[in-house]
Structure 1
Amino acid sequence: MLRDSLSGVRVLDFSHVLAGPVCSMTLADLGADVVKIEPPAGELGRKIGPPWINGESPVFMSVNRNKLSASIDLKTDAGRCLVRKMLCDADVLVENFRPGVMQSMGLDFASVREINPNLVYCSISAFGQSGSNRQRPGVDGVIQAVSGLMSTLGAANEDPLKVPVPIADMVGGYLAAIAILAALHGVRNGKGAQQLDISLYNATVMLQQISFASFFASGRNPDKVGSAAPYAAPNEAVPTEDGWIVVVAYHPERWTALCEELGMPWLESDPRFATNDDRVRNRKALHQLLASRFSECSTSQWMERLALRDIICAPVSSYRDVVESAEYAESGLACTLDHPVAGQIRANGFALGPSDRAQDNADRAAPLNGEHTLAVLARYGIEHDQIAELLDTGVIRAYPARPAPTQTHDEVL
């Protein structure tokens, strides 16, 4: 089944904050055994807030479920030696440091391939591992800007906007997971170690395939059209008596039905709106006419009326509206996780389809820093005496500092 399709695949995750953790969480959701390798103070994502839940970061917890955490100080020779030993038995390595950092620790692809000739090595960075921009720092907002995405958002003549969801990080992480799945298939077919270079810049440009296709065809930069689709009209949000509704009625039959339902049949014969091309060119005038009519009734009233005419529509929902909706209740996304410090937390889980939801897979909340250090090292074949020495010298950190006497490694994991 889907949720255990990667059962037995071992992933060592050196990533932090977002794109890398999204990638490794996707693998964990699919059943992989994912171990976060964190510094003694924890990865940077743990410090991102507000808000906070009992001092824990919801941002961190949102992208680190179903993982184990091993706290290892990679600034020490002993820590790096320990990780190299673990890599002998790993299937996948994920990292999103700035290019060159892993090499400085002797953990670059060329070095690691010598000890594990079948490792899938995935590097995620802002601009890739080669080229003149490889050392250029870049976070989500910077990538949205330089990839052209920011120039398309908002309304004409208004300030630049960014998608508030860190979309460059999210799509970069998901694409990295897809690339890892393909590389694992290659290893299984005897192709040996695979090196993956995932660039957030490339991922965000790829996300805009349709817009760039229009640009290549016309030579014109996209117009900023707010909520509208640049290639179709009407296909945008219009105000109602008590909110907003998105109306999609550019297909000829739906355009006719909309004009009739609005009591404005003359719109069809107006040469400004005769075809989709005409309506796109005269979008502003059309929007004003539609807004004046839609503002006479509530969103729910319009939803009922348009649904009867098979006109595609949806309310513009707040997050509260979303989680209280029937669509959300039926989606299989809602889940509750028990965290040892934050307590019971609500989250959006992993749901790709009915076959996935049919299984009773309880997700684990994001781990505490070092929560599984002792159990993970034992699983990777590190001897008890060596673990005790690493603890005493501060190379590794465990939470709790020592396991309870009756607790087995299997129970910890």
Structure 2
Amino acid sequence: MSRPLDGVVVLDLTRFVAGPFCCLQLADLGADVIKVEIPKTGDEGRQIGPFHKGWSLYFTTHNRNKRGITLNLRDSKGKELFRELVARADVVVENYRPGVLDNLGFGFGTLTALKPGIILTSISGFGQTGPASKRAGFDQIAQSMSGIMDVTGFPDGPPVKVGTHVADYLTGVYAALATCAALTERARTGQGRHVDCALYDSMVSFLGLDLVGYAATGVARQRSGNSIGISVPVNLYRTKDGYVVVNAGVDAHWRQLAELIGRPELADDPRFRTRPDRVANADECDRVVEAWTATMTSAELCDVLEREGIAYGPFRTISEVATDENTLARRMLIEVENPSLGRIPALGSAIKIDGVPEPPPIDAPLLGQHNAEIYVEWLGHSRGELAQWQEAGIV
């Protein structure tokens, strides 16, 4: 069975998270992604933990299902080999600081001359243009500067970053989406595109209503802990043995919840009758709900809410998510075949398309694992040449 990007060749020049995660999405959709790393040392991600039997799970998470080669892009012979690769590629993905790829001699104009219709996807901290474009940018920097940390945490506490690499992962998804759109346009027009995605832009877009609301009204949303601020009761409530998110912000659901609590009169209480009323009296409403949830275990509360059709979600630890039946049924935690360790855990794909097979369970490549396959079998060079290049540090 075919996959949407079968036959598409992607040269992955990226490191760390956002770029590799973009290329992982393309690989999972069927693209032949060739990860290009520095000879001898490779991607810095190989040295970042946690480790499993000496192997970086950080590297596996972002680079499975790719082929891997080494190449020195600063060497004249290395540049020549890269030009050969570009001539056979459809997409180049890079996350150097803006200007670096041009300085290496491989700006978009050069790539287009080598391969008309090629797509260059650039991922950076602050974009290819704008006053901050030359700055280095990483996930937490983007979270801090974008305002995301201003709306994360509790009102009486300091700004807090989101618990995972949200800027990196979101930018990776945006970049993959834009790359697929550029491929679709190229199929229609033959024209390539330079895709420009930035961690900062991703996080500003993540503000969504909070940014637009301030621009229109001059009122900034304050940090609100685990509530969402615009709908009540929607919060993480304490139970006898843990926590459960209850979402009963819709008026009809609030009436149901008031009945469950055993206080149907609350549905018509002037403080709580409508959504705006409850938002204005959020603390009081939350106290009423938590006084009820605290009388049950999490399992008991979930059973009650399930029967009544009120949306809920029990708080779970990562260890619980790893063994959750839905995680496993949806293939979000899988095993892949590591070249030296055998089968090891890996992150599954969040993209499911009817009739499209799931990605093959192949781990991230060893450093230079596919050098012979690419340089000899694909580009047609001799094994003797490859050995010379390896000795010289070109590959």
CA distances 1:270-303 after superposition (whole Å, capped 9, x unpaired)? 2211111111111112212222221111011011
AA in 2 matched with 1:215: Y
1:243 aligned partner? 242
Aligned mates of 1:182, 1:380 — CA distance in 2: 28
1:376 aligned partner? 374
Alpha-carbon deviation of 1:90? 0.6
Equivalenced residue count is 393
Counterpart contact for 1:56–1:341, Cα < 8 Å: no
Alpha-carbon deviation of 1:265? 2.2
**2:344 alignment partner, SS class:** strand
Counterpart contact for 2:21–2:169, Cα < 8 Å: yes
AA in 2 matched with 1:359: P
Counterpart contact for 1:10–1:91, Cα < 8 Å: yes
Aligned mates of 2:272, 2:6 — CA distance in 1: 56
Segment drifting more, 323-332 vs 73-82:
323-332
Segment drifting more, 381-390 vs 73-82:
381-390
Aligned mates of 2:341, 2:253 — CA distance in 1: 49
Counterpart contact for 2:337–2:361, Cα < 8 Å: no
Counterpart contact for 2:28–2:359, Cα < 8 Å: no
Alpha-carbon deviation of 1:332? 2.8
Counterpart contact for 2:65–2:359, Cα < 8 Å: no
Q: Structure 2 vs 1, CA of residues 359 and 197 (structure 1 numbering), >3 Å: closer, same or farther? A: closer
Aligned mates of 1:282, 1:30 — CA distance in 2: 47
Counterpart contact for 1:68–1:367, Cα < 8 Å: yes
Counterpart contact for 1:102–1:108, Cα < 8 Å: yes
AA in 2 matched with 1:366: A
2:167 aligned partner? 168
Aligned mates of 1:304, 1:255 — CA distance in 2: 17
The answer as to 2:328 corresponding to 1:363 is: no
CA distances 1:180-202 after superposition (whole Å, capped 9, x unpaired)? 11111222222422111111111
Aligned mates of 1:218, 1:382 — CA distance in 2: 63
- Output the TM-score relative to the length of structure 2: 0.95
AA in 2 matched with 1:47: Q
The answer as to 2:13 corresponding to 1:5 is: no
AA in 2 matched with 1:323: A
Segment drifting more, 375-384 vs 363-372:
375-384
2:44 aligned partner? 44
Structure 1 alignment gaps of length 5 or more: 397-413
Identity %: 32
- Output the TM-score relative to the length of structure 1: 0.91
Alpha-carbon deviation of 1:126? 0.6
Aligned mates of 1:373, 1:340 — CA distance in 2: 15
Alpha-carbon deviation of 1:393? 2.0
- In angstroms, what is the RMSD of aligned CA positions? 1.7
Alpha-carbon deviation of 1:360? 6.3
Matches within 5 A, 1:328-407: 328-353=327-352, 355=354, 359=357, 361-384=359-382, 385-396=384-395
Aligned mates of 1:35, 1:361 — CA distance in 2: 16
Aligned mates of 2:226, 2:238 — CA distance in 1: 12
Matches within 5 A, 1:65-104: 65-104=64-103
Aligned mates of 1:111, 1:329 — CA distance in 2: 45
Alpha-carbon deviation of 1:323? 2.4
Aligned mates of 2:372, 2:231 — CA distance in 1: 57
**1:272 alignment partner, SS class:** coil
Alpha-carbon deviation of 1:267? 2.1
Matches within 5 A, 1:13-412: 13-40=12-39, 41-49=41-49, 51-353=50-352, 355=354, 359=357, 361-384=359-382, 385-396=384-395
Structure 2 alignment gaps of length 5 or more: none
Aligned mates of 1:307, 1:392 — CA distance in 2: 65
Aligned mates of 2:109, 2:337 — CA distance in 1: 40
Alpha-carbon deviation of 1:379? 4.3
Counterpart contact for 1:155–1:225, Cα < 8 Å: yes
Alpha-carbon deviation of 1:354? 6.1
AA in 1 matched with 2:370: H
Aligned mates of 1:286, 1:65 — CA distance in 2: 47
Segment drifting more, 330-339 vs 251-260:
330-339
Aligned mates of 2:121, 2:33 — CA distance in 1: 14
**1:121 alignment partner, SS class:** strand
Counterpart contact for 1:54–1:341, Cα < 8 Å: no
CA distances 1:64-123 after superposition (whole Å, capped 9, x unpaired)? 011011011223111122111211111000000111111121111122221111110111
Counterpart contact for 1:240–1:294, Cα < 8 Å: yes
CA distances 1:353-374 after superposition (whole Å, capped 9, x unpaired)? 3625x73653211111111111
Segment drifting more, 285-294 vs 80-89:
285-294
Counterpart contact for 1:53–1:342, Cα < 8 Å: no
CA distances 1:231-289 after superposition (whole Å, capped 9, x unpaired)? 10011111000000100111122111101111122322322111111111111122122
Counterpart contact for 2:68–2:366, Cα < 8 Å: yes
